[in-house]
Structure 1
Amino acid sequence: MVTYEKPKLAISAIEKLLDNHLGPGSTEIKPLSGGNISNVFSFNHEGKGYVMKFSDLEGAYETEHYVSHLLSGQNIPFPKCLALGRINQLTYIIMERIEGLNLSDFTAEEQTHQLTEIISILKKMAEADIGSTNGYGWIAADGNGSYVSWKDFVVAVNAEDQRGTFWENWHDLFRTSCLERDVYEEIYGRLMDYVPYNESYRSFIHGDFQQWNILSDGTRITGIIDGNCMYGDSLIDLAILDRHMPWSDVIKTYQINQEKASIKIPYFKERLMGAYYFKGLDGLRFYAKMGWNDAYQNTRQFLLNLNA
């Protein structure tokens, strides 16, 4: 099976782009690790740090451009966007660089020590003012959701026809990868049972809220990056965080935080189950496409063992 390969671009071409946008003087241009569908570079210009990302997916960073303005404008530590454009068949974006290391670079104990602050940021994202927008699911460049309802979104992202997207011809994975049709359909059926619990909640969702997209200086969180941003039930971000930090009592910490703020959480268990199934199903498909068999098996076992 051929796994997905990120697009490549010569350093000389990157230098030319930076000269056009920022003027001469960009230094220390170097690739960064991480990013599953983007090639990411860091650089300095006039004493400040920046990041430039490239993708071959159509409209790859239009939403990130919108999200940057939404979150940074509401005191959420998300990098500000400086430029968005295209070169050849690639889309690129230039953003301010938030200092710090990926939270994943720290020990489990150090990560857990910062969990309260992480939960606080999760809540701020969930409370972001999106009142001028409408719709559910993927956030479009204009800031609106792509679907009328959460159910429509769930059905659409799991449909076979995904032409023009990262998931084009994804049913081939049933033949060419570890993705099992019977397991996928079983989890999808469970997910649809829980859709009614999630569908009446509409907040901003980061969509990939885990250690590789959270930056830290070791004692405090310095920023949030990237995301598969959408509108829907904010407990999806909580489910993602819990699956990536299983040693940290993420759910208990979140519930204690809400109780201290005298915030009641209707149908919390059912909504969280729906969130686990939604992100887990997407994870199965993604891990199969990337050839990450261990991650696939781990997620498969977790989902099948969830109490229905």
Structure 2
Amino acid sequence: MTAYEKPSMDIAGVEALLKNHYGKQVQEVSMVSGGNLSAVFFFKHEERPYVIRFNELKGAFETERFISELLASQGVPYPRMLALSKIGDLSYSISERMEGGMLADLTEEQRAGLIPDLIHQISVMNHVDVGSTTGFGWLDASGSGRYSSWQEYITLFYQEDQTGTFWEGWHDLFKTTCLEKDVFEECYARLMTFSGYNAPHRHFVHNDCHAWNTLSDGLKITGIIDANPVYGDFMIDISLAAGILPPAHNLIQAFRDYQEQQGIAFPNFNERLLGAYYYKGLDGLRFYAKMGRNRDYDAAKSFLLNLTN
């Protein structure tokens, strides 16, 4: 299995598509570096900034409109989707562009100064009202989870048969990449041990909540972008956001203190945190292997195997 390559688009093609979409020329089209699955471009139309993304995976962006409305309507600084269409085999979406740059580009001192607002914004996102939806795991186009329980979701997420998804044929990675079957199976067994503690909790989970998907103008958090959302335990986002700053800042404890002040209880805190680490870490192992990121794979493997309760 070769590493996944995101769609290839050039600026001239994007300009032509946007001119056809708006009926007039747009301005300042530029390619955005980064992004693992989508080709991303910034542009302006009538002096307002927007983002257009292209993805070739089946069902790409189908739930994005629901997500953007759910979050933006409840005070989360998340970009609203304004258009969703196709060009050939590619899906594309047009969304608002949030102010600010990536949190990852700020200094450690600047990021540390944003801790209170960072914790507040992520906590608001995790506790939006999802009472009109049902289910766990990946969201469908209507906004409900596709699985009846958290355990069903993670079991199917890691099964061998992933036909029609990004992970189709992923067991080949054991033969063709650095992915080690014994390591994967050990971490999977640990996931099954601790996931029961996550299972009762159902919240909106961004599921990719790191410094490259969080925006700031240096004074406040201005946006949270590119959710890969599931319904599950918000500890998943806390475990990811903790990596925004070195361990000495103890972001996990800061999240716990803030949310307890808001009246949010944390039963089985340590076990839920371990369940979150193994859930995301296991997916990280196979992702890094598929993308040929061997150094990241080694770091993730070391972290997971050295976790203790």
TM range (shorter): over 0.9
Matches within 5 A, 1:45-194: 45-194=45-194
Is the contact between residue 100 and residue 216 of structure 2 (CA under 8 Å) also seen in structure 1? yes
**Matched residues, number:** 308
Which AA in structure 1 matches 2:180? E
Structure 1 pair 144/259, CA: closer, same or farther in 2 (3 Å)?
closer
CA deviation profile, 1:21-74 (whole Å, cap 9, x unmatched): 323130111100121100000001101000000001011111122111110111
Structure 1 unaligned blocks of 5 or more: none
Q: Is 1:287–2:275 an aligned residue pair?
A: no
Equivalent residues in 2 for 1:170-249, closer than 5 Å: 170-247=170-247, 248-249=249-250
Q: What SS does the corresponding residue of 1:62 show, helix, strand or coil?
A: coil
Question: 1:188-214 CA deviation, whole Å, 9 max, x = no partner?
Answer: 000001121111100000000000000
Matched residues in 2 for 1:254 and 1:92: separation?
Answer: 35
Which amino acid in 2 is paired with 1:53?
R
Question: TM-score w.r.t. structure 2 length?
Answer: 0.97
Q: Percent same amino acid at aligned positions? A: 49
Counterparts of 1:259 and 1:99 in 2: how far apart (Å)? 30
CA distance in 2, matches of 1:146, 1:10: 35
1:122-164 per-residue CA deviation (whole Å, 9 max, x = no partner) reads 1111111111110100011110101110000000110011111
1:291 alignment partner AA = G
Q: CA deviation at 1:236?
A: 0.3
Superposed CA RMSD: 1.2
Q: 2: CA distance between counterparts of 1:53 and 1:244?
A: 25
Distance 2:200 2:261 in 1: 24
2:299 maps to a residue whose letter is N
Moved over 2 A (4+): 9-13, 19-23, 243-248, 258-264
- 2:297 aligned partner: 296
Q: d(CA) in 2 for partners of 1:104 and 1:44?
A: 24
Deviation of residue 244 (structure 1)?
Answer: 4.3
User: Does structure 1 conserve the Cα–Cα contact (< 8 Å) formed by 2:104 and 2:244?
Assistant: no
Which residue in the other structure is 2:268 paired with? 267
In the TM superposition, residue 261 of structure 1 has moved relative to its aligned partner by 2.5
Normalising by structure 1, what TM-score?
0.97
Preserved CA contact (<8 Å) 1:160 1:169: yes
Aligned counterpart, 1:256:
257
Listed one character per residue, the Cα deviations across residues 240-298 of structure 1 (whole Å, up to 9, x for unaligned) are 11234333311111122123334321111111110011001011111111111111111
- Preserved contact between residue 21 and residue 83 of structure 1 (Cα < 8 Å): no
What amino acid sits opposite 1:296 in the alignment? Y
Secondary structure (helix, strand or coil) at the match of 2:94 reads strand
Structure 2 regions of 5+ residues with no counterpart?
Answer: none
Query: Could you tell me which amino acid in structure 2 is paired with residue 297 of structure 1?
Result: D
